[in-house]
């Protein structure tokens, strides 16, 4: 890191932050306490997989910026250069017109997504999902007199922070106190085999469970009436709801059900997209063909804000079929969807993923890390289940292996805190998401992770499990 940092006094920054910044997902009382207040953490510098805070302390970041974002790692000068060059040439024009990087990135992106055709630019994952929801609603009005407007979402999935996204959000603790919600969003059951017993499906496993979990979606469609259901919105692998890899047989059956009832399949790749699971997109592991795909975090690895709502040509066509109708196009705009920094950063981000063969590294290191987590499971009885794909992994902690009773989330928090305090290793946990089930440790190092990095992360977790849980 920059050797000057240690000698720089950042106490003024800390005090300005303490006085005026409202942190995301944070209870501030500890920073304001009369006695022994803790300091808010300020991240000052990053390089590769490592970040340094205001005290010059080095950390290994096992969660890519806390929220599965910095896929290509910190300190990428070529992305900064690409963004700078673009900004001095043409920084912004509203999205009714095009830009060079937006056109070029859309072409590169679509080449990775057979069957998809159009890219709608916005800024955040939530916003991209809002675009998808609006498309579904407008299609319902244009083609079905408004009737086929319902959007199905799944228990434990998350699609963003706006009121409409929370309305389609399956994490009750994220939603609590923010209602009333938008009508027309309907919940379907989750597909977490480890918790099948809570769904009365405990006797099923593998493909039999996968098909039963998908059939549970069909039951909801039949209950609601297929002519009222416009879309099904799913994460390919649920992220913040517990790193839930879908069971065998699930996705093909989901696709079949959507086709049968003429329901658009919207896959939320905000976390899994752009290489995180070892393929360009998570759904590509499962041979499904979506109608709408949304993405954000890893698209530019956090070097600029960008999200995309990508559709098939068939979906796009529905918005240009009748030019005599003045309302017959997608009447939506995102001011900052016209910023060129996003696609400029995304182009260079994609080049890095390709030239450095980071998808291949993700597969190899993901397999290695999964194996290491399995060894932790063999050693610590508190590790009940290990899940994930590529460098997107989770370990569900339990108080009792037999009953699978979830570990108290305070103890899970202590494991996370121990890794940070003792080793400077930043890991994550499911956070204010599913009541009683905020018990999964989350790992998502950047896709440049090496065996040594993974060994350091695993060794820290091993020590923390012993220290906290014995
Ligand atoms: C699966 C998923 N979709 C959507 C979002 C929302 O993205 P954003 O925070 O960029 O609005 C998130 C955020 O964590 C997410 O995990």
Ligand 1 binding residues, C-beta < 6 A: 67, 124-126, 129, 158-161, 235, 239-240, 268, 270-271, 296
**Looking at residue 1, what is its pLDDT?**
46
Spans of all domains in the chain: 4-70+358-469, 77-355
Question: Cα of 6 to ligand 1 centre, how many Å?
Answer: 34
Phi-psi region of 325 (alpha: psi -120 to 50; beta: other; left: phi over 0): beta
The number of angstroms, rounded, from the C-alpha of 449 to the middle of its chain's C-alpha atoms is: 19
Concatenate the DSSP letters of all residues of 282-330 into one string: GGGGTT---SEEEE-GGGTTTSS--EEEEE-HHHHHTTSS-TTSTT-S-
Cα 51 to ligand 1 centroid, rounded to whole Å: 23
Q: Report the distance separating Cα 466 and Cα 470, nearest Å.
A: 4
Give residue 294 CA to ligand 1 midpoint distance, Å.
10
Which tokens go with 376?
């932790």
CB contact at 8 A, 443 and 427: yes
Smallest CA separation from ligand 1 atom 6, residue: 160
Task: Map residue 130 onto helix, strand or coil.
Answer: helix
Tell which atom from ligand 1 comes closest to the C-alpha of 240.
Answer: 16
Q: Which protein residue has the closest C-alpha to ligand 1 atom 13?
A: 160
Contacts of 189 (CB under 8 A, 6+ apart): 154, 155, 199, 213, 216, 217
What dihedral do alpha carbons 246, 250, 256, 259 form, nearest 10°?
Answer: -30
CA of 162 relative to ligand 1 center, distance in Å: 10
d(CA 114, CA 288): 11
pLDDT at 4: 47
- Pairing, β 43-47 against β 50-53: antiparallel
Ligand 1 atom 5, closest CA: 160
Out of 271, 301, 337, mutate this one to test ligand 1's pocket (max ligand atoms within 8 Å of CB): namely 271
Residue 104 CB burial class (10 angstroms; 0-12, 13-18, ≥19): middle
Q: What integer pLDDT is reported at residue 9 of this predicted model?
A: 87
The predicted structure's pLDDT at residue 375 = 98
Q: If you measure from the C-alpha of residue 341 to the centroid of ligand 1, how many angstroms do you get, rounded to a whole number?
A: 20
Measured from the CA of 297, which atom of ligand 1 is nearest? 10
| Contact present, 49 and 448 (Cβ < 8 Å) | yes
- Dihedral sign for Cα atoms in the order 155, 285, 200, 408: negative
SS3 content of the chain, % helix, strand, coil (to 5): 45, 15, 40
Question: Strand pairing of 229-234 and 425-426?
Answer: unpaired
Domain 4-70+358-469 matching CATH 3.90.1010.10: the answer reads: no
Looking only at Cα atoms, what is the longest distance across the chain?
Answer: 71
In the predicted model, residues of the chain with pLDDT beneath 70 are 1-7
Residue-level length of the chain:
470
160 alpha carbon to ligand 1 midpoint, in Å? Answer: 5
The fold of 77-355 is 3.40.640
- Tell me how far apart the alpha carbons of residues 171 and 388 are, in angstroms, rounded to a whole number: 19
Measured CA to CA in angstroms, residue 449 lies from 92, 163, 356 at distances of: 34, 36, 12
Q: What is the pLDDT of residue 322?
A: 85
Whole-angstrom distance, CA of residue 150 vs CA of residue 234: 14
DSSP string, 131-190: HHHHHHHHHHHHHHTT-S-EEEEETT----SSHHHHHT---HHHHTTS-SPPTTEEEE--
Do residues 428 and 66 lie in contact, with contact meaning Cβ atoms separated by under 8 Å?
yes
pTM above 0.85, yes or no: yes
């Amino acid at each position: 890191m920059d050797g000057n940092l240690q000698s720089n006094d950042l106490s003024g920054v800390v005090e300005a932050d303490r006085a005026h910044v409202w942190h995301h997902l944070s209870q501030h009382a500890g920073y304001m306490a009369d006695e022994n207040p803790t300091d808010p953490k300020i991240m000052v510098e990053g390089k590769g997989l490592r970040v340094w805070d205001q005290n010059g302390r080095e950390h290994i970041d096992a969660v890519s910026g806390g929220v599965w974002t910095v896929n290509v790692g910190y300190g990428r000068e070529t992305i900064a250069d690409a963004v700078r060059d673009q900004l001095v040439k043409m920084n912004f024009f509203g999205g009714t017109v095009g830009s060079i990087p937006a056109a070029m990135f859309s072409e590169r992106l679509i080449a990775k997504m057979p069957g998809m055709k159009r890219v709608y630019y916005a800024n955040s994952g939530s916003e991209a999902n809002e675009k998808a929801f609006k498309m579904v609603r407008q299609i319902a009005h244009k083609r079905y007199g408004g009737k086929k407007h319902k959007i199905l979402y799944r228990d434990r999935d998350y699609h963003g922070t706006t009121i409409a996204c929370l309305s389609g959000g399956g994490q009750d603790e994220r939603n609590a106190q923010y209602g009333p919600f938008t009508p027309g969003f309907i919940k379907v059951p989750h597909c977490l085999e480890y918790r099948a017993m809570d769904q009365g499906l405990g006797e099923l496993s593998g493909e039999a469970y996968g098909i039963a979990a998908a059939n549970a979606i069909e039951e909801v469609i039949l209950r609601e009436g297929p002519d009222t259901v416009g879309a099904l919105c799913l994460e390919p692998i649920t992220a913040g709801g517990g790193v839930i890899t879908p069971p065998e047989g699930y996705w093909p059956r989901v696709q079949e059900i959507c086709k049968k009832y003429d329901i658009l399949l919207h896959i939320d790749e905000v976390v899994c997209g752009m290489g995180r699971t070892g393929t360009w997109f998570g759904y590509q592991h499962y041979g499904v063909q979506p109608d709408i795909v949304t993405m954000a975090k890893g698209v530019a690895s956090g070097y600029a804000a960008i999200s995309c709502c990508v559709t098939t040509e068939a979906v796009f066509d529905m918005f240009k079929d009748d030019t005599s109708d003045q309302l017959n196009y997608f009447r939506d705009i995102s001011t900052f969807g016209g910023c060129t920094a996003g696609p400029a950063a995304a182009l260079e981000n994609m080049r890095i993923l390709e030239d450095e063969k980071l998808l291949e590294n993700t597969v190899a290191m993901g397999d290695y890390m999964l194996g290491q987590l399995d060894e932790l499971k063999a050693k610590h009885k508190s590790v009940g289940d290990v899940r994930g794909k590529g460098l997107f992994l989770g370990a569900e902690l339990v108080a009792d292996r037999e009953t699978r009773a979830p570990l108290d989330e305070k103890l899970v928090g202590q494991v996370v805190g121990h890794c940070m305090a003792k080793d400077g290793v930043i890991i994550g946990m499911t956070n204010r998401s599913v009541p009683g089930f905020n018990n999964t440790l989350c790992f998502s190092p950047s896709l440049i992770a090496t065996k040594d990095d993974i060994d350091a992360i695993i060794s820290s977790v091993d020590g923390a499990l012993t220290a906290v849980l014995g």
